[in-house]
Structure 1
Amino acid sequence: MSPNGEPMAVKDVVNVDTPSLAKNASKRRRAWNAFEKVSEGILFASAFIGVVTIILIFLFLFKEALPVLFDAKTAASLTASKWYPISQPPVFGLIPLIAGSLIVTVGAIVISVPLGVGAAIYLSMVASPMVREILKPTIEVLAGIPSVVLGFFGMAFLAPVVKSLFNLPTGLTALTGAITLALMALPTITSISEDAISSVPGKYMEAALSLGATRWQAIITVIVPAAFSGITASVMLGIGRAIGETMTVLMVTGNAGIIPDSFLVPVRTMTATIAAEMGEVARGSDHYHALFVVGAVLFIMTFIINLIADMVSRRMKEVE
């Protein structure tokens, strides 16, 4: 009905309502565009803050490390074969710390990668749904165990076993640290690898089976290669966690600042050195700045690991 009570045609109703509908749609469009711009700004700010934070950390580490690098005598001691900062003159050899970190990390990866990837294959391709629903949450819960608890486990259980098994004077060795770190890296590797394998389209398996491959042949030759980028990412994350772990290795590796010649000797890692000594050194001393050199080296190593992981992941995605 019109305002004066006369009936209105359908086209008149459309003509009356269309401008208001268009106006409302225009308002909604402008509001949505404004929301998108604000969201983009927030996301850009978040990314920018993250990048700036990393750069500032990098600059801070190297600023505090420079005094040691510019001191000829102290800088020369950085290549020594031992870390002995309380000697006269002090010796700040980085080689045993780097070697200790690498041997423990390599040992942890050698143990955790086969177990983690194998568990991921079992969970995604072999286990029944009921078993998967029980095991996967259990494995993921292991990732939340505090490192100090695993350190206590390593000291109380693993160290005595290693000591008696290999007839050693102490069970606090690189092997003990590697096993403990493997337990820490295992949930990460298993969970991410399982997600990567599960994301492979089912048609890959069907195609392999239709060509005469057995189930295990299809898994090994088709499914795992298709998920290799995700598996690689999980391994790199495991390496990053292992090489950056502090409390566990501080408790179970023996903290001997010498170059290890096997897995059965005590070692000292870079992270354990920083954690154990930073609170006791005089601010501004050579020892203080040497610890920042250790931190800078650790930062560079983890950066390189993450860079390699990203490059490998991108390369595998291109191949796929």
Structure 2
Amino acid sequence: MKSARAKSKIWIERRGRMVTLLCVAFMVFVAASILYFVTSKGLSTFVINKASITDFLFGKDWDLGKLDKEGKPVVGALPMIAGSFAVTLFSALICAPFAIGGAVFMTEISPKFGKRILQPVIELLVGIPSVVYGFTGLSLVVPFLRDHFSGSGFGIAAATIVLTVMILPTMMSLSVDAILAVPASLREASLALGATRWQTIYKVVLRTARPGILTAMIFGMARAFGEALAVQMVIGNSAVIPKSLMEPASTLTSILTMGMGNTVMGQVENNALWTLALILLLMSLIFIMIVRILGRRRTFE
């Protein structure tokens, strides 16, 4: 009987390992397939259509139906790349102080109020679809900027405001987790040495949780960089480098969502859009690598 039970347990463990291995192999296969497909389609602009990589990354003219003097497509993606980085950086710079301040309030100053009131609100904001944020920005932010500043209201400023609200719950939630991971013994030791609560928060808690907070900032920037629908509704979708924050601009995602449904697979226009998708994929991989590096640093510290 014992040997039969032991064999049954061994078989169950082996079966569990096989199922787990198959699931992991399937996920790796899907990820590798996506990476291969996007890379192969994205490189078609340079391999098949003979476009210049330098002109694509640093060119300022985006006209998919036009050819230059050498017969190459006019696909200068610098306005979209600059727009994506501008919106991402501005929204992260504005959102970071609010996210860190809210996280400190929820964990160190008023933890009971934070858990009962603020935590459900943050979770609710995370679950709101991006189209709702975009429509709200289109109905409130754009008219406000148009009435109180020069321009039509569409532009990087409107997109930055919308993205700031969108990534705030993500940054705040991850910052809360990073601060809660700080051992209570460090707080007690700081207070025992005569430090005030604010000195303990600033000198001990935030410095110890800094890698986790930086990870939260990177995650927020990754979401802002890849956001499509909300940005498309408020940025103006003009493939030019704006001279001010109030002028219409464009991002990689806004041009992709506008043009992908109007192109034919294999044509120059479609290949150029796939190249934009490849840039987005590479930027996502870079964000993931940064997060992993910060995670390793936090583990070592």
* Contact 1:103/1:263, CA 8 A, preserved across alignment: no
Q: How much does 1:269 deviate?
A: 0.6
Q: Percent identity?
A: 32
Pick the aligned partner of 2:280 from 277, 281, 298. 298
Aligned to 1:231: 213
TM-score (norm 1): 0.86
1:116-195 to structure 2, matched below 5 A, reads 116-165=99-148, 167-195=149-177
1:71-150 to structure 2, matched below 5 A, reads 71=48, 74-75=51-52, 77-78=55-56, 79-89=58-68, 90-150=73-133
Give ranges in structure 2 of 5+ residues lacking alignment.
Answer: none
Query: What number of residue pairs does the alignment pair up?
Result: 295
Distance 1:226 1:28 in 2: 49
Q: How much does 1:226 deviate?
A: 1.8
Structure 1 window deviating more from structure 2 (126-135 vs 309-318): it is 126-135
Q: Residue 310 in 1 paired to residue 292 in 2? A: yes
Structure 1 window deviating more from structure 2 (179-188 vs 226-235): it is 226-235
What secondary structure does 1:279 align onto?
helix
Pick the aligned partner of 1:283 from 265, 278, 283. 265
Aligned-pair RMSD on alpha carbons?
Answer: 1.8
Distance 1:212 1:28 in 2: 61
What secondary structure does 1:85 align onto?
strand
Distance 1:27 1:138 in 2: 54
Distance 1:72 1:246 in 2: 27
* Contact 2:105/2:114, CA 8 A, preserved across alignment: no
Distance 1:317 1:261 in 2: 43
What secondary structure does 2:262 align onto?
coil
What secondary structure does 1:74 align onto?
coil
Paired letter, 1:157? L
Aligned to 1:40: 17
Greater Rg over alpha carbons, structure: 1
TM-score (norm 2): 0.92
Structure 1 window deviating more from structure 2 (51-60 vs 94-103): it is 51-60
Q: How much does 1:73 deviate?
A: 5.3
Moved segments of 4+, more than 6 Å: none
Give ranges in structure 1 of 5+ residues lacking alignment.
Answer: 1-22
Q: Residue 204 in 1 paired to residue 181 in 2? A: no
Aligned to 1:20: none
Distance 1:271 1:185 in 2: 16
